[in-house]
Structures are given as C-alpha cells and as structure tokens.
C-alpha cells in the first residue's frame, strides 16, 4: 500500500470513530486500522441504549455526512506520549482500549494519543500531516458487519463499519465500478447458480459439497496438474486423513497449529488429529527405507483433503473453508539438486497459469531475523536457503517482491501472485524450501562415500487449494469457463418435437467424440430454451430445425459471439475438439 494513501485511510478511521461517538453517545471504540481498499472501525454499541439494533447499512449515509462535517473542522493530527495511568484515565470506561494499554505497558512500548478537532484516540501514529489531504469525495462507507474482539469468538461481538478510501474521486469511482462487477461474479452466488457446489446446514459451515458438474471441474483441474507433473518424474502416493499427535509433535506442527486441529479420541483413549497438511505424512513414506543418492530426487504427488478448525465468522464460500483439497507435492533431494527441482516446478506453475491468462509475479517470502522465535531451525540454515531462492530468481531474470516475515515457519518460499480479469491480486502457487523437517525426522541418503547425508525437502502446490483456486477461477471467468473446462461444452436444442429424433442422434455423436453434451427436449419455446442455456453459460448452443435436418447440419450459437451459421456435425466436432485440445 502506498504510504500516503495508507495514512489517508488511517486518518479516515479516526474520522469514522469521531462521527460514531458524536451520533451514538455511549459507544466504545475498539480498533480502527487502514486496510487494502480503505479502513474500518470496530465499535461496541450499547444494546441497552437501543443503538446496536439501529446500526445498519441504511445508516451509513448519515455517518458519512457527519464525517464530512467534522472533517471541515480538523486541521492536523497532534500526537503526544502519555503514561499508562494517563491513558487509562482518559479511556476509563473503555475495556478495549484498556486491554491495549495494559499490553503496551507490559511490553514497555510507548503509549501515544493523537488528537484532531475535539477527538482523541489511542494510536501509534501514521496519519496525514494536514487534514486537507483527505478529499471529502474520495471516501465512502461501504458496509456494516459483525466482528469478534481480537477475532476470538469467545470475546464480545462488535459492530464493524467498513469504508473505502482512495487518493482521488476518480480512483474511488473506478473501485466502486469494480466492486459492482465483482458482486456479479461472486463465486458464492455463481457457484450454486451453475450447480457446481452447495452447502448444507446439516453437514456444517465451511464444508462444501460438490455436485457432478463441480466434481468434473475439480477432476479436470487436478488431472491437468498431474499431466504437467508426471512429465517431470513425479509419482503418486496416498495417505490417511488422521494421525497420532506424535507425528505433529515431531514435525513442530503441534505447537504451531494445535488450536486449529480437529481432534479425535479413540475408545482406548489415544489422541489422533485430522490432518491439516500432508508433509509430515510424506516424510514417513520417504523414511520407510534407506535411499541411495542415485534414487534422488524422490518426487511424491498427492491430491488429498485437509481439515482446519477455522472460526465460523472467518468462513467465506470456497475461499475459506474447513475442508479443502490440496494438489500437494514434496520433493526429497540433495542440496545440489534444489535449484533444478525449483526450476521444474517454476515451469509447471507458469504453464498452468498461462492457460488461464493469469499474469504472475513472484514474491520471495523470507523469515524475519528479529523474530526467530516464530520459526524452526537456526539463522544459518535460513540464510543459506534464502540465498538459494534468490539465485533462482536471478537466473529467471525477474524482479521479486520482498516478503520479509512471510516465510512458512519451517522455511522460505517463492509465492506466485496472479491478477484476475478485474485486476485483483491473489496468492496462488507456492514453492517452499524446507531444511528443518528433514532434520527433525532425520531424513538422509547414502552418498558416494557410503556416508549418511542430510537431505532437504521441497513443498510444492500448484493450485494450493482446489476450492480456493476455483473461487478465483469462477470470478475470473464470471462463470463462463473456456470450452475445455466447461462442465457442459455444448447443448443441442431442437426447435420442436419433430426435430427430437435428429437432435438425439447429434447428441449421441457428440458424446461418442468425448464432447460433454446435453439436450433440451422440453416443451418450451425456442427463446426460453436459449435463455436457459445462456444462463448456464454453456459455450455452444446447437439449434436444430427442419433446415438443419435437410442439410445434415446444426445451427451454431457461440457464447459471447451469437449466431455462427450452419456447420455439418462432423465439422463442428472437428472445430470444438481442436479448441479443447489447445485449451483455448
């Protein structure tokens, strides 16, 4: 985020807090940070005063007006350092601010207050120097939501008011247009409309159920990734969905993720965990026998479901779920083989995402040397691993984003960022170098001298989570998948019942040529049949009337292009099969 824009957004969070206190006396402000497209403030609105039930999206224009009214009276943000007692005196009736004050005091950190107009807030700084930098027409309150204090569902639920903010009115308007387009493309809306997936209250939140069409999509994507991998010598493996907790204690995942694990206690009293990741299981496949250096690299691929106990309030369609499928792979190799293996995965990533038209940017996600307590292993190994990844980036002649502090807890990684058709950026594939897990599990090979040699481990996910990738792809394409990926590639539509026999014949011929085809013989008007097919976003509509029967042909309507005229069935089959094979 550009620094000055971040300061504008942070300043607007203060302005929002001030407006809420003015309009709803007795409210208690919690936290109000800047975020990627604006800002928010979490607020405790006292129910006993009848306020909580009154705040809704309908109230946002009123709060916005108050913000603009106050902005005229604001000049600068004046900061001053205070003692914990002084801060507590000011916020004596606010438990949220007091909790933060106590934490700052315990850590020995500075406690600062910032004042603008008649509003003073607890804040570490980062505002505009002059309130005139905030354009009154370049921000807009967007929505009201609920949020638990500190993201913990055991804490009080607060009202969160979100706002959008940009440097200029034009930038805000462009963003609002993009937001409206994103709503139309929302995978939570399109997925069920296209009959790809569903959720059930009886099954539980965050646990998607995949229909035949959605399952077909998942399988095609996974098959494509496997086609790319097997060219590079990967072998498929399979693992159970549960494990004794001992595995995760040894790998280091238990201490890091124990609160996010689904746990099972057996009848005999043994504690098992449902797997949230696959790498520790894969280490045990490698460890099953001694390996000569001649057998390395060992490349294991495994598409399998994982499970994490995400908080209910953080679940979001397919983007954040409790059951997700990873197209996971792990390479066990010598240090000297790391570069070659990384480059192979790099090529797989670019070939896969190139088919979807995504532009990729790479981020070198490094550890933060100031907080080594967050990571496994020692500083020396981390520096060595990160140097190797830097050399790979240099060889590929790309400019990488510096991701300080973004490493996995066991090793640095190359993360690939993709921009979709709306210009939104998503983290997609990842390649991670791990020197720590082989150390913890004593993984080695017998080298040329007949001695044990410590190996390293590479983690590689192309889609990452199939669920999350599909949420991105659905929105990227607005549900209109390319022909090769469409669950239904063509639909045959006879104009009336007397063309049904010929329509059935055409349908059978297309299916015999592995073209996913449906037929609509419902007793409805042609217009209604066409509208129904267009709503399903089927790439090709083959309309059949008497003229088509006489010509032994079909009349083609292509999604997005309209009528293409008549083609013989054979010529259409040749056309669509070429399109499918080329993944156009």
Q: Global pTM? A: 0.83
Of 44, 328, 420, 434, which residue is the catalytic one?
328
CATH superfamily of 213-475: Bira Bifunctional Protein; Domain 2 (3.30.930.10)
E strand or H helix at 433, and its extent?
strand 425-434
Whether 326 is catalytic: yes
β-pairing verdict for 490-494 and 517-519:
parallel
Of 330, 367, 468, 476, which residue is the catalytic one?
330
For residue 179, the tally of other CB atoms under 10 A from its CB is 13
- For CA atoms 488, 494, 495, 500, the dihedral sign is negative
CA distances (Å), 418 to each of 99, 429, 432, 501, 508, in order? 39, 9, 18, 47, 40
Q: For 483-581, CATH number? A: 3.40.50.800
Of 459, 468, 476, 537, which residue is the catalytic one?
459
Whether 48 is catalytic: no
pLDDT of residue 3: 66
Cis, peptide link before residue 297, omega less than 30° from 0: yes
Contact 479, 194 (CB under 8 A): yes
pLDDT of residue 230: 95
Burial (0-12, 13-18, 19+ Cβ within 10 Å), 281 = buried
Q: Which residues contact 302 (CB under 8 A, 6 or more apart)?
A: 236, 237, 238, 239, 278, 282, 326, 328, 329
Could you say which residues of the chain have pLDDT below 70?
Answer: 1-3, 47-54
How far apart CA 339 and CA 320 sit, in angstroms, is: 32
Strand segments, DSSP code E, in 106-194 are 111-116, 119-122, 139-148, 157-165
CATH, domain 3-179, list 3.10.50.40, 3.30.470.20, 1.10.10.10, 3.30.980.10: 3.30.980.10
How far apart CA 484 and CA 17 sit, in angstroms, is: 51
pLDDT of residue 485: 96
Contact 31, 41 (CB under 8 A): yes
Domain boundaries, the chain: 3-179, 213-475, 483-581
Phi first, then psi: give them for residue 304, nearest 5 degrees: -155, 155
Whether 236 is catalytic: no
pLDDT of residue 423: 82
pLDDT of residue 578: 94
Whether 279 is catalytic: yes
Of 121, 275, 281, 326, which residue is the catalytic one?
326
Whether 558 is catalytic: no
Contact 279, 459 (CB under 8 A): yes
Of 44, 185, 279, 299, which residue is the catalytic one?
279
CA-closest candidate to residue 3, choices 215, 183, 167 = 167
Of 66, 344, 413, 557, which residue is the catalytic one?
413
pLDDT of residue 71: 93
Whether 459 is catalytic: yes
Whether 499 is catalytic: no
């Amino acid at each position: 985020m550009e620094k000055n824009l971040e300061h504008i957004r942070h300043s607007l969070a203060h302005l929002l807090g001030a407006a809420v206190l003015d309009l709803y006396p007795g409210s208690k402000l919690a936290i109000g940070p800047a975020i990627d497209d604006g800002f928010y403030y979490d607020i405790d609105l006292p129910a006993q005063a009848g306020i909580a039930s009154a705040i809704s999206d309908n109230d946002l224009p009123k709060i916005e007006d108050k913000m603009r009214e106050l902005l005229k009276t604001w000049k600068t943000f004046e900061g001053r350092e205070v003692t914990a007692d002084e801060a507590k005196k000011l916020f004596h009736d606010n438990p949220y601010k007091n909790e933060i004050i106590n934490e700052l005091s315990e850590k020995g950190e500075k406690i600062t207050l910032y004042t603008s107009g008649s509003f003073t807030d607890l804040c570490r700084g980062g505002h505009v120097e002059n309130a005139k930098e905030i354009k009154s027409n370049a921000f807009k309150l967007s929505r009201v939501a609920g949020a638990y204090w500190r993201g913990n569902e055991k804490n009080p639920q607060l009202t969160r008011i979100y706002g959008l903010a940009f440097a200029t009115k034009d930038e805000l308007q462009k963003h609002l247009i993009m937001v409206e387009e994103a709503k139309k493309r929302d995978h939570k809306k399109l997925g069920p409309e296209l009959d790809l997936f569903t959720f059930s209250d009886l099954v539980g939140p965050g646990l998607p159920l995949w229909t035949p069409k959605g399952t077909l999509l998942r399988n095609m994507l996974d098959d494509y990734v496997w086609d790319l991998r097997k060219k590079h010598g990967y072998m498929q493996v399979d693992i159970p969905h549960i494990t004794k907790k001992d595995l995760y204690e040894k790998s280091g995942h238990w201490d890091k993720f124990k609160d996010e694990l689904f746990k099972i206690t057996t009848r005999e009293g043994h504690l098992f965990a449902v797997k949230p990741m696959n790498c520790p299981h894969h280490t045990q496949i490698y460890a099953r026998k001694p390996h000569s250096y001649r057998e390395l690299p060992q490349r294991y691929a495994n598409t399998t479901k994982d499970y994490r106990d995400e908080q209910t309030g953080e679940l979001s369609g397919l983007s954040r779920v409790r059951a997700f499928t990873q197209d996971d792979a792990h390479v066990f190799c010598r240090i000297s083989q790391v570069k070659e293996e990384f480059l192979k995965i790099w090529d797989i990533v670019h070939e896969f995402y190139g088919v979807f038209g995504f532009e990729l940017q790479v981020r070198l996600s490094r550890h933060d040397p100031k907080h080594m307590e967050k990571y496994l292993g020692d500083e020396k190994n981390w520096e060595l691993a990160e140097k190797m990844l830097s050399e790979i980036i240099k060889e590929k002649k790309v400019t990488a984003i510096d991701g300080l502090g973004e490493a996995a807890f066991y090793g640095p990684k190359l993360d690939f960022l993709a921009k979709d058709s709306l210009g939104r950026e998503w983290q997609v594939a990842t390649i991670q170098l791990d020197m720590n897990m082989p150390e913890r599990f004593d993984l080695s090979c017998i080298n040329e001298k007949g001695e044990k040699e410590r190996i390293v481990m590479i983690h590689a996910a192309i889609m990452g989570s199939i669920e999350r990738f599909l949420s991105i792809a659905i929105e990227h394409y607005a549900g209109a998948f390319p022909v090769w990926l469409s669950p239904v590639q063509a639909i045959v539509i006879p104009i009336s019942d007397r063309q049904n026999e010929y329509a059935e014949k055409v349908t059978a011929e297309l299916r015999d040529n592995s073209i996913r085809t449906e037929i609509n013989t419902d007793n409805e008007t042609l217009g209604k049949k066409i509208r129904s097919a267009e709503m399903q976003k089927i790439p090709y509509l083959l309309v059949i009337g008497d003229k088509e029967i006489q010509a032994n042909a079909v009349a083609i309507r292509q999604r997005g292009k309209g009528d293409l005229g008549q083609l013989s069935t054979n010529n259409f089959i040749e056309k669509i099969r070429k399109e499918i094979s080329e993944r156009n």
